[in-house]
């Protein structure tokens, strides 16, 4: 089975990815990555994150995929040395010049070619292989059939990685200048303001101040916004195509999102490794699970040809909300970090590495005051509640509450 590679934008997301079954994670340092506004890791934090990842039997890849200017190259090399010394398993790099420089100056650090490099054909992959790169992360525009053909052409000479889930950019391989033009924040420098997700309208030259939606809808029109990518329905075919790694997008996403999506794809891959029929039977449930995290409407992107419905990914949807995380357990009692209000008697769900099971909330102890309560709405409080069968790292969730009681 391919590696399951999950986002680790901060320590909490890292812990969620590891707990729910990631084979590898990717995260950024304070500079040189394409998510400047993710939590990212200072050097001491990076060392700790890599240590924790290796203890869990997983791998840690450091994102260094900005397009650097000349005056940034020396610092980039130094950061790569620090990442290598910290034990990083690879660096994810976009720029060919930076790749060549890092292979020469930090040869002990393997390089994975970022999707930002827009690799869509065999000769490009061969070029990166000849430069000493271990893996190429394919552009999202490469179809399933073309992945098969590239794998056939390349043999085992270089690994291929592809995105399997998450947000997609409206521009080719994410190489977009819209944010730089409109806000001065370049997506190629890790600072994208995501203007493609804004609501857009059209104007007519002689009717200043009059705005018209591109399509009639009470919520407006998201003209440029691509649908999310979800390849769960074609996961068996993707695995058979010969990719080495399946990547979940989301270094800006919450730990809850990472937990839900990682857990769903982990269970899917585990089922596939044993029995294709078991996967097919579980597919509706797995798709329902993915809808429990915040998401836009999704499709299979370019994997089966042209996306089903270009654009028009209107807003976010979520069918469950994060209630609490299990910090530790003693017998049948769990110590929980509260995230959202719930009430004794509520029908909740406990997310575990093995799957999701229903539980009923009971009165709990507020650790700060020692009082027993039926509800508490202060995020960050620690409570103790009977929760048999839970483990540290498990997550409690419940229905999304539009109106608090």
DSSP 226-287: PPEEE-GGGHHHHHHTT-SEEEE--TTS-HHHHHHHHHHHHHHHHHHHH-HHHHHHHHHHHH
Return the CATH architecture of domain 3-168+226-299: Alpha-Beta Barrel (3.20)
* Token pair for 167: 């947000």
Using CA atoms, how far apart are residues 162 and 299, in angstroms rounded to an integer? 15
Neighbours of 355 (CB within 10 A): 14
* Token pair for 19: 């707990």
pLDDT at 216: 45
pLDDT at 227: 80
- Please list the rounded mean pLDDT of every run of 10 residues in the chain (405 residues): 96 97 95 67 95 98 93 95 98 97 98 95 98 96 96 97 87 70 73 74 75 55 71 96 96 94 98 95 96 86 75 70 97 97 96 96 97 95 97 96 56
Domain boundaries, the chain: 3-168+226-299, 321-398
What does pTM read for this prediction? Answer: 0.88
| Number of DSSP helices (H) and strands (E) in the chain, helices first | 10, 20
Using CA atoms, how far apart are residues 125 and 263, in angstroms rounded to an integer? 31
Using CA atoms, how far apart are residues 330 and 326, in angstroms rounded to an integer? 11
* Burial (CB count within 10 angstroms: exposed 0-12, middle 13-18, buried 19+), residue 180: middle
Using CA atoms, how far apart are residues 303 and 333, in angstroms rounded to an integer? 46
Task: For domain 321-398, give the CATH superfamily.
Answer: Translation factors (2.40.30.10)
Using CA atoms, how far apart are residues 224 and 201, in angstroms rounded to an integer? 11
pLDDT at 309: 57
* Token pair for 118: 């827009």
pLDDT at 273: 95
pLDDT at 202: 73
pLDDT at 404: 45
Half-sphere exposure of 205 (CA within 13 A, CB side): 0
Chain centroid, CA 296 distance in Å = 14
Look at phi and psi of residue 276 and say left if phi exceeds 0, alpha if psi is from -120 to 50, else beta. alpha
């Amino acid at each position: 089975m391919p590696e399951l590679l999950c986002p680790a934008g901060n320590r909490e997301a890292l812990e969620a990815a590891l707990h729910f079954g990631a084979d590898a994670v990717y995260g950024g340092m304070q500079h040189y990555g394409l998510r400047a506004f993710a939590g990212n890791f200072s050097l001491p934090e990076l060392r700790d994150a890599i240590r924790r990842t290796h203890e869990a039997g997983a791998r840690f890849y450091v994102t260094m995929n900005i397009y650097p200017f000349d005056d940034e190259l020396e610092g980039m090399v130094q950061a790569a040395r620090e990442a290598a010394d910290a034990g990083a398993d690879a660096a994810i790099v976009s720029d060919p010049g930076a790749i060549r420089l890092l292979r020469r100056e930090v040869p002990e650090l393997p390089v994975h070619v970022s999707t930002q490099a827009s690799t869509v054909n065999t000769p490009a992959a061969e070029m990166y292989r000849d430069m000493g790169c271990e893996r190429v992360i394919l552009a999202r525009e490469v179809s399933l059939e073309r992945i098969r053909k590239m794998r056939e052409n390349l043999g085992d000479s270089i690994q291929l990685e592809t995105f399997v889930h998450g947000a997609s950019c409206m521009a080719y391989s994410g190489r977009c200048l819209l944010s730089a033009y409109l806000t001065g924040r370049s997506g190629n420098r890790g600072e994208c303001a995501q203007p493609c997700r804004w609501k857009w309208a059209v104007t007519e030259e002689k009717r200043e101040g009059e705005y018209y939606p591109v399509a009639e809808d009470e919520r407006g029109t998201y003209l440029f916004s691509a649908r999310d990518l979800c390849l769960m329905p074609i996961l068996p075919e993707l695995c058979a195509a010969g990719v080495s790694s399946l990547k979940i997008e989301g270094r800006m996403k919450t730990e809850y999102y990472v937990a839900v999506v990682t857990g769903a794809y982990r269970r899917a891959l585990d089922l596939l490794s044993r029995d294709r029929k078991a996967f097919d039977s579980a597919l509706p449930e797995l798709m329902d699970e993915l809808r429990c995290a915040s998401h836009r409407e999704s499709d299979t992107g370019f994997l089966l040809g042209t996306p089903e419905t270009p654009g028009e990914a209107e807003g976010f949807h979520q069918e469950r909300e994060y209630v609490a995380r299990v910090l530790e357990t003693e017998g049948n009692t769990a110590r929980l970090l509260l995230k959202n209000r719930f009430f004794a008697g509520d029908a909740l769900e406990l997310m575990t590495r093995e799957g999701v099971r229903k539980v009923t909330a009971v009165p709990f102890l507020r650790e700060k005051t020692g009082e027993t309560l039926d509800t508490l709405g202060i995020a960050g409080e620690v409570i103790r509640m009977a929760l048999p069968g839970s483990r540290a790292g498990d997550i409690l969730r419940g229905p999304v509450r539009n109106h608090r009681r």
